[in-house]
Amino acid sequence: MSEYKNIVIVGASAAGQQLANYLSPNLPTSHRIILIDALDYAFWPIASLRAAVVPGWEKKVTVPLTQETVFPADSIHKLVVPNKVVELKENSVVLENPFEGSNEIPFCKCILATGAQQPSPMRPAVGSTRQGWEDSLAKTQGEIKQANKIVVIGGGAVGLEIAGEIRAAYPDKTITVVHSSEHVLHPTPDAPNPNGKAHSYSSPPTLPKLSLTLEKLLKEMKIDLITNDKVVIPANQSTPEEWSGAFGLQDGVKTVKLQSGKTLEADYVFVSIGNKPNVSLVESADKGAVISGLVGVDEYLRVISDTPNSPLSRNYYAIGDCSSTPGWKTYMGADYDAKGCAVNIANEAKGKAPKKYVRPTLAAMMIPLGPEKGAGTLTFPVVGTWQVPGAMVKGAKGSKLFVEDLFYGRFKGAKKVAAGI
C-alpha cells in the first residue's frame, strides 16, 4: 500500500492537467496526485480544424503524455497512461489495467475531468493512437483538397471555423454553411421548457452583433450561408446521385436536400455538432448525479446527487466540460474550474474549510475564419460584453491558435515539448 494519500484526477486534458499543475505545489508532502488518462498523448482541439486542412499542422496538435513531460523530475506525483477508469467507488477507482500491482486505487479525493466527445477532426476517436490521429488529420487534408463543393452542416463556432480554414487555404472552392437558426452562433437564449425541466447543456447566448459581423465576413470571403433551414440526413441512398448521409468525401457530386425543399451539390459534407459531455462513468455509478446531461456540482465543485447516500457525494469533485459549472465550455472556463478546485482540494488536504467557487466574469469568445480574419467578444465585470476588432482576434488566436503558449505551455515536466516531438 502507498505511503501517500492519493488525489485522483480522471482525465488529463485541459481541466485535469491544469488542476494537477495548480495543485502539485500546494499539497502537503503526505498527499500525491494520480493523473489518469485513457490516451498516452494530449491533443489540442483549438487548432484541430486547421490541422484538418493545412499540411504540417497535424504535427502541432499532439504532445506525448509521459511522466517526464507532465511532472518535474523526482516528483512523487504519478501519471497513469494509457489506462481507463472503468468504475467509480466511494473511496476508490477501478482501472482497466493494474497500477502499482492493483487495479484499484484508493483515494481521499477524486476529481472528474473527463471532458467531452466530438467527432474527428475536432477530437480523436476513442482508442486512437497519436500516430493514428495524425494520420487521420492528414487524410482529411487530402480529401478536402480533392473536393470542390463543400457543404458544412451547422453555423456554430466549429462550422464557421472549418469554413474559414478551407477558404483561406483554397480560394476557389464552393463552400456553403447551412444553419438552423436565423443567425450564426447562438445569439438567442433557449426557450424555457414548458414542463419546467432543465435543458441539456447549451452555450450561453452570444452577442448578436458578433453574429452579424461574422455573417458579413462570410459574404466577403465568398462563403455561402443558408439560415433557418436544415440539411435532411437520409437513412440510406435512394439513387446514386443523391447524398447517402455519409459525412466526408463523397464518390462524386451528390444532391443534398434541405427541409425547405432546396437542394445543394456537394462532394464533401462536414458536420459540426456540439460537445457531448463524457458522463458515462458517473451514470454507471449513480444516475442521480447527472443533471441536465452534466455531472452536477455545488458551489464548491463537489459532486451532488438526487440519490440519497450517493457514493459520489462525499469525496468527488467535477470540473470542465463534464461538469455543471455555468458558462461557455472553453479552455478558459476549464482553467477557471481547475484553479477553483485546486484551492479546495489543497484546503481539505490541510484540514481547512473549502472556499465557494464563482467563475470569474472575464470571458472570451473568438472565432477565427482562417489565420487572417475573424471576430470575437470579451466579457468584462460590470461593463458586460463587447466586440473586439478583427485584428485582435488574428493576433490573439487566429495566427497561432495558442499552440505554443497555452498547449505546450501547460506541460511542466523535466522534458520539454514541441511540435512533432
> Taking residues 36-56, what's their average pLDDT?
97
Give tens-digit pLDDT for 12-39.
999 999 999 999 999 999 999 999 999 9
Q: How many helices (H) and strands (E) does the chain have?
A: 9, 22
Q: In the chain, what is the greatest distance between 2 CA atoms, to the nearest angstrom?
A: 69
Same domain, 173 and 190: yes
Backbone angles phi, psi at 6, to 5 degrees: -90, 135
Cell of 292: 441536465
Give tens-digit pLDDT for 141-160.
999 999 999 999 999 999 99
Listed residues 226, 251, 274: the one ending a domain: 274
Residue 202 has pLDDT above 60, yes or no: no
Same domain, 168 and 246: yes
Give tens-digit pLDDT for 330-387.
999 999 999 999 999 999 999 999 999 999 989 899 999 999 999 999 999 988 999 9
Residue 202 is assigned to a structural domain of this protein = yes
Residue 196 is assigned to a structural domain of this protein = yes
CA–CA distance, 64 with 219 (Å, rounded to integer): 40
Calculate the CA 268 to chain-centre distance.
Answer: 24
Split into its structural domains, the chain has a count of: 2
Same domain, 266 and 293: no
pLDDT score of 189: 60
Same domain, 236 and 293: no
Listed residues 209, 242, 274: the one ending a domain: 274
pLDDT score of 275: 78
Lowest mean pLDDT segment, chosen from 35-44, 246-255, 357-366: 357-366
Give tens-digit pLDDT for 299-317.
999 999 999 999 999 999 9
Tell me the pLDDT of the chain averaged across its residues: 93
Residue 305 is assigned to a structural domain of this protein = yes
> How far apart, in Å, do the first and last CA atoms of the chain sit?
35
Residue 181 has pLDDT above 90, yes or no: yes
Give tens-digit pLDDT for 79-111.
999 999 999 999 999 999 999 999 999 999 999
Same domain, 147 and 194: yes
Cα–Cα distances in angstroms (integers) from residue 398 to residues 15, 186, 373, 375, in the given order? 22, 21, 7, 10
| Residue 345 belongs to domain spanning | 5-38+83-118+275-360
CA–CA distance, 238 with 98 (Å, rounded to integer): 50
The pTM of this model reads 0.93
Same domain, 101 and 163: no
Taking only Cα atoms into account, the Rg of the chain, rounded to an integer number of angstroms, comes to 22
Residue 124 has pLDDT above 80, yes or no: yes
Same domain, 108 and 148: no
pLDDT score of 408: 95
- What CATH number is given to the structural domain containing 267? 3.50.50.60
